[in-house]
Structure 1
Amino acid sequence: MCGCISKRRPRKMSEQSLSFKRLNRRQWLVGAGAAALGLALFGLSPRANAEVRPLDAPRVAGTVGERYDGYAVTRGTVTPDITALVDKVNAERKALYAERAKTQGVSILDIGKIYAAEIIKSAPAGTWFLSESGQWAQK
């Protein structure tokens, strides 16, 4: 037999291939969680552009910003109503992040950072974002 034809049998799926499939499944679950965050916390729907989400007005006004870890934060002097709204949203987010972190086997901070990326995408123009280094940037 010439050297141009391999004598090896087809390999069974290796453990490396299996771990790759698990990684893709995990990524899919995290992505699905991010979508759920948008639906649950921001009231997104197919007609999201027509809806007003609770934090949109304070975000555009600059009194509420978003942090790198997936939580909202007040900026400057705000009314007690805005503070209560931010506290409520953050409590809901924390519960969701904790649930996702437990099912994924990662830290709450890691989940929060993943959700923060989705929040940045869906936030209205004019929203302020606080980076991990403490710098503010406006969308």
Structure 2
Amino acid sequence: MTLSDLRRSFARNLFGGMVACAMLAGPVAGTAHAQARDPAYDAARSAGKVGEKMDGYLGIVGQESAELRRVVNDINIKRRALYAQRAQAANATLQEYALTAGCLAILRTAPGEKYQAPDGSWQTRTSQPPMRDSRCPA
């Protein structure tokens, strides 16, 4: 088995464990989803001022304001806490879990929303699938 095969196997197993944990953590997921209902977040996302990053966190696209930084920091703190819980349950590192969560969040972006491409640039989602990092599970 090559190193590449081991990485793919690890990613599949990690992804499967994350899906299982997500299904078992319904009430926690509801709390995390509630953060997306913040009107300031919704407005910033719709305006392309924030986007999903490869590392699983929300990023500011372009110029930031104090209010926008507050909203993004608040969401990212909640995400980190959730990722830490779920990573432990999935026997993964926080970074591994966050990367996979970032891959999934980018896949869930809607046309017109911003996301971070593998090269670090901000892209606007079209009707086509987003560009994905090679480390993302298939």
User: Shift of residue 105 of structure 1?
Assistant: 1.4
Q: Using the TM superposition, give the Cα deviation of residue 37 of structure 1 relative to its aligned residue in structure 2, in angstroms.
A: 6.9
Partner residue, 2:120? 134
**Partner residue in 1 for 2:98:** 112
Q: Distance in 2 between matches of 1:37 and 1:115?
A: 15
SS of equivalent to 1:133: coil
Q: Which of 103, 113, 123 is the equivalent residue of 2:89?
A: 103
What is the distance in 1 between the residues matched to 2:124 and 2:28?
Answer: 22
Report the residue type matching 1:76 in the other structure: G
What do residues 2-57 of structure 1 show as CA deviations (whole Å, max 9, x unaligned)? xxxxxxxxxxxxxxxxxxxxx5972542442797675332339xxxxxxx723222
Task: Give the aligned partner of residue 41 of structure 1.
Answer: 32
2:72 maps to amino acid: V
Partner residue in 1 for 2:128: none
Any conservation in 1 of the 2:54–2:102 contact (CA below 8 Å)? yes
Larger Rg: 1
Unaligned runs of 5+ in 2: 1-12, 126-138
Q: Is the 8 A contact 1:60 1:125 kept in 2?
A: no
The one-letter amino acid paired with 2:37 is: R
- What is the deviation of 1:124? 4.0
Q: Among all aligned residue pairs of Structure 1 and Structure 2, give the percentage whose two residues are the same amino acid.
A: 25
CA RMSD of aligned residues (A): 2.9
TM-score, L = length of structure 2:
0.64
State the number of aligned residues: 110
1:64-85, CA deviations, whole angstroms, 9 ceiling, x for partnerless residues? 1110111001122122111101
| Whole-Å separation in 2 of the counterparts to 1:107 and 1:81 | 31
Closer/same/farther in 2, CA of residues 127 and 25 from structure 1, 3 Å limit: closer
